[in-house]
Chains A and B, each alone.
Chain A
Amino acid sequence: MSRTSTPTLIFRRILAALPSIVGVIIITFVLTRALPGDPAAYFAGPAASQEAIEQIRETLGLNRSLLAQFFIYIGELFRGDLGMSLTTGQSVLSDLLARLPASLELTLAGLFFSLVLALPLGVLAATRPGSWIDHSVRLIATAGVSLPTFFTGLLLIYLFYFRLGVAPAPLGRLSLLYTNPPAVTGLFLIDSLLAADFGTFWAALSQLMLPAITLGLFALAPLARVTRAAMLGVLSSDFIRTAKASGLSRRTILFGYAFRNALLPIVTTLGVVFSFLLGANVLVEKVFAWPGIGSYAVSALVASDYAAVQGFVLTMALLYVVLNLLIDLLYAVIDPRAGVES
């Protein structure tokens, strides 16, 4: 048995991810071509003549065989060219790069909110199974997951913006009174702090609050339940009994011994929830007029904007690979056994 070094681990993971990326490229290509609707007709507009449509079809290369189109697409991919969006008229790459940070910031904030709630709630529920705390945690989690996000979002807007007036208007990432902070990471909270612009920070935070809570409430249920189940499992294991028999303090047992062991399933679920939220937060983005990639992808899909859809799916696949890599690395940090070759 030997522990694998971290660079080897990273390299091996990336290598293992290559086939899935190739698969994603092929499938998205085929699927976007199979979509109903004619991009050329859509692009030419309702009043265009048949000739104009044919002409556009030719400029877009849509009159060639599927295989030829595919190789052109691959060639462009290698040059970092994701094509032009038919709806925005911009390159898909710049569209995605402009919108991805907004989605990331929203998802990360939602996840943060949900973790801050779910971990303590799950631990509390596990240490007192069957108590009123356990039951209320289950109730909160079930409510969070059964309310659709657009409903929670609208409810929060109604309460905090319309009735109480404590939240700003749900109109994107920053109210019109502020200018975007100089882009470093693309995340407004971090960029404004880097620029020491606290006014913008607060403005961005208050815009982010409601959509993040909306998303977070949805992620609360799986995280709290996994935390509870993992803690319950670990707390009844042999080594916890040893720790008790050694007279270790309750806090050492709970956090030093049990929680660290319970982290493994929690981190796994965290990865699943994260990638799920990243793609599925489109409803929240629509409700809060959030300029993220979810809403971009939906409008592209409706418009048969194949290049944008392909770009979106590819981005998600790459994000997913990166995310899984991060989670594997996190495993290796938490569990010394994770890097062992079997």
Chain B
Amino acid sequence: MNIAPPTLPSSPLPSSPLSSIPLLAVRNLCAEFRTRSGTVSALENISFYINPSETVGIVGESGSGKSVLALTIMGILDPAGHVTAGEILWSQSAATLNLLNTPEKVFRQLRGKDLSMIFQSPRTALNPIRKVGKQIVDVLRCHTQLPPAQLKPRAIELLASVKIPDPAQRYEAYPYELSGGLCQRIMIALALACSPQLLIADEPTTGLDVTTQATVMNLLKDLATDRQMATVVITHDLALASEYCDRILVMHAGHLIESAPTAELFQSPQHPYTAKLIAATPEPHKGFNDLAPILGNLPDLRRSDLPPCRFVSRCDQATDPCHNQPLVNTQVTETHQVSCWHPLGGPQL
């Protein structure tokens, strides 16, 4: 194994392989929830970057901190959640903002305009007693200078752009009158109303049937390509991420454990967890018995004595340093990072 020498215990600054400045750079982000039964360490030392117009998948099982990460970036984390360290740098038109200390007044103007988000269960994510068209108009009125008379035509245009049949008629519909797939298209139209540069899609296909899933994802992909928009797809479905994403970040129990271009990740996963995730992912040629479940559960994140590596109790290769030494980040290749004392190595190395 000729792995690059372990770097400093704290995670290295994310470096974009491209010479351009990343659109979004998250550095050493830590967040916790203070609950009655203890403090939950929801995110620890998360660092990554998103380049303009690339599609990045964030993958991990439920409770790994994917959604918390997304909500933190959007600045709409529940009041019980607190960011305790780190920075979120947003670079736009030659200026860089740290979103964590951006005044709410300024941040609010970015939200829904420059960075947008869509959610799972689209039917509940829309206001149940407001016409869907009006909800798009609300966003347009908030972020654009369009004269009032053009708001409705523009909203209908947006509905048409997400391939909704009869957009003028659908403008007058309420969410309960539409199918889940249509609601998710409306969510997409709403999120893209002001042509954002980054779209975070949090489990965009959960709750939709399989064929609708594919159409929604293809629509997202096409729209992102057309508009040169960066997209973050948050999912627990590794197969879905591999199909649509240029790069994949793998999260486990509030840690970002591996990031790599999609092909590289699948060819030579470095983190034992990633390897196990891939082995547990159904594929057409795999039978039920070929799927290897990952034993154990996520550790209780309220514990005060969490081991440095939160996968240690589920890992086959754990040794002493995994239990008591600070986690190391290893740069496997220029674009491939892993947080593990014992990366797996693999065909490319």
Binding site for B on A (CB under 8 A): 1, 237-239, 241-249, 252, 256-257, 260-261, 334-337, 340
Cross-chain contact B111 with A261 (CB below 8 angstroms): no
- In addition to A239-B127, A246-B142, A247-B108, 10 A-B residue pairs with Cβ atoms within 8 Å of each other are A242-B126, A243-B127, A246-B138, A247-B109, A247-B110, A260-B129, A260-B130, A335-B129, A336-B176, A337-B129
From B112-120, B276-284, B298-306, the one touching the partner chain is B112-120
Ordered by A's residue number, 26 sampled pairs between the chains whose C-beta atoms are within 8 Å are A1-B177, A238-B125, A239-B126, A239-B127, A239-B128, A241-B125, A242-B125, A242-B190, A244-B76, A245-B112, A245-B117, A246-B116, A246-B142, A247-B112, A247-B142, A247-B143, A248-B112, A252-B142, A256-B138, A257-B130, A260-B129, A261-B127, A334-B129, A336-B129, A336-B174, A340-B176
Q: CA separation between A241 and B125, bound complex, in Å?
A: 8
Query: Is B139 interfacial (CB 8 A cutoff)?
Result: yes
Q: Are A247 and B138 in contact (CB under 8 A)?
A: no
Residues A238 and B112 in contact, CB atoms below 8 Å apart: no
Interface of A is mostly: helix
**B residues touching A (Cβ–Cβ < 8 Å)?**
74, 76, 108-113, 116-117, 119, 121, 124-130, 138-139, 142-143, 174, 176-177, 187, 190-191
**A105 to B127 alpha-carbon distance, docked (Å):** 37
Q: Is the beta-carbon distance between A238 and B124 smaller than 8 angstroms?
A: yes
Q: With A and B bound together, what is the CA distance between A243 and B113 in angstroms?
A: 12
In the bound complex, residues from chain A placing their C-beta under 8 Å from that of B113 are: 247
| Neighbour of A246 across the interface among B111, B130, B177, CB < 8 A | B111
- Chain B contacts for A246, CB-based, 8 A: 111-112, 116, 138-139, 142, 190-191
Name the CB-closest residue of B to A237: B124
Q: What separation, in Å, do the CA atoms of A244 and B139 have in the docked complex?
A: 10
Report yes or no: B111 in contact with A247, Cβ–Cβ below 8 A.
yes
Nearest CB of chain B from residue A257's CB, rounded to whole Å: 6
Most chain A beta-carbon neighbours within 10 Å: one of B112, B127, B138:
B127
- The CA-CA distance from A248 to B141 in the complex, in Å, is 9
CA distance A247 to B117 in the complex (A): 11
A248 in contact with B138 (CB, 8 Å): yes
With A238-B125, A244-B76, A245-B117 as contacts: A337 and B174 at CB distance below 8 Å: yes
Evaluate contact between B139 and A248: CB separation under 8 angstroms.
yes
Residue contact B119 to A242, C-beta cutoff 8 Å: yes
A239 CA to B120 CA in the complex, in Å?
11
- In the complex, what residues of B have CB within 8 A of residue A241's CB? 76, 119, 125
On chain B, the residues within 8 Å of A256 by CB distance are 138
Interface centre among A1, A335, A336 (most CB of B within 10 A): A336
Residue of A nearest to B187 (CB): A242
Interface hub of A247, A249, A340 (most chain B Cβ within 10 A): A247
